[in-house]
Amino acid sequence: MPTPPASRRSLVTGANRGLGLEFVHQLLARGDRVIATCRQPGRAHALNQLVGEHPGRLHLLPLDVAAPKSHAELVRELPLVLGDDDTRLDLLINNAGVLHSGERFGKVAAETLDDSLRTNASGPFLLTQALAPWLADGGKVANLSSELGSIAGKDAFRTPSYSISKAALNMATALLARALVERGIVVLALHPGWVQTDMGGSGAEVAPQDAATALLRVIQRADAGDSGRFLDRHGMPMAW
């Protein structure tokens, strides 16, 4: 009998709520083996319930993207949960993010700017670097960026820490694309739209289900020519 094709392996950061949780639902539904990561797995009730429903196919691991030590622990634990010789990752979704709202010029605090940079920019960059040996050749890395990180689209002083950090994430995306090009790994910066999550608020335009479906389609269709690009959820280029 022919061996069935091995299922894709996907890792999602910030998977306990919002878009991250929706990615996990949809990746499981399409048959992936999923490593869902979050800061406090013990409190991630929805994820723990899903683990019970998908034994052996959903693994829950702790990860604080802003803490490089936590990246190293994840790298140590990955082979233990995947449990075989083939520990490649086909997809890394750098989804975790933070938005400190209400910042005013003259009152922007070093702590919120630092936290935004660590969580939204250096975290995804360093995590991708740490996981690079595990990424399958031809695999994909999706960085959840934002139109608020677009320099071209900046028309007012708002969300400075978030905007600076997402602009830095866009540069990290371009650099990672170049670093990984020879292995055929596609790296994307993606804007999901204004999404109904804790971050986007209930008045946002797009349901998390629709945003995740659209983004997974864009990721699936992306090829080497798209690597290093900044795209919206319809696959259209965004202005840097």
What is the strand order of the sheet 58-62 is part of? 58-62, 33-38, 9-12, 89-94, 135-144, 186-191, 230-232
CB 134 within 8 A of CB 88: yes
Is 228 one of the binding residues for ligand NDP (CB under 6 A)?
no
Contacts of 123 by beta carbon, 8 Å cutoff, 6+ apart: 65, 66, 94, 96
Q: Given CA atoms 203, 205, 210, 213 in this order, what sign does their dihedral have?
A: negative
Q: Which of 9, 10, 14, 26 contacts ligand NDP by CB under 6 A?
A: 14
Instruction: Write each residue from 82 to 121 as x if it is in contact with ligand NDP (CB under 6 A), else as -, in one continuous string.
Output: -------------xxxx--------------------x--
- Six-digit token string for 155: 């028309």
Q: How far is the CB of 8 from ligand NDP (least distance, A)?
A: 21
| Size of interface with ligand NDP, in residues (CB under 6 A) | 29
> Any idea of the CA torsion for 28, 68, 174, 163, to the nearest 10 degrees?
90
Single out the residue of 10, 11, 12, 19 in contact with ligand NDP (rule: CB under 6 A). Answer: 19
- From 103-111, 131-139, 195-203, 228-236, give the range in contact with ligand NDP by CB under 6 A: 195-203
Point out which residues bind ligand NDP (CB under 6 A). 13-14, 16-20, 38-39, 63-66, 95-98, 119, 144, 146, 191-192, 194-195, 197-200, 204
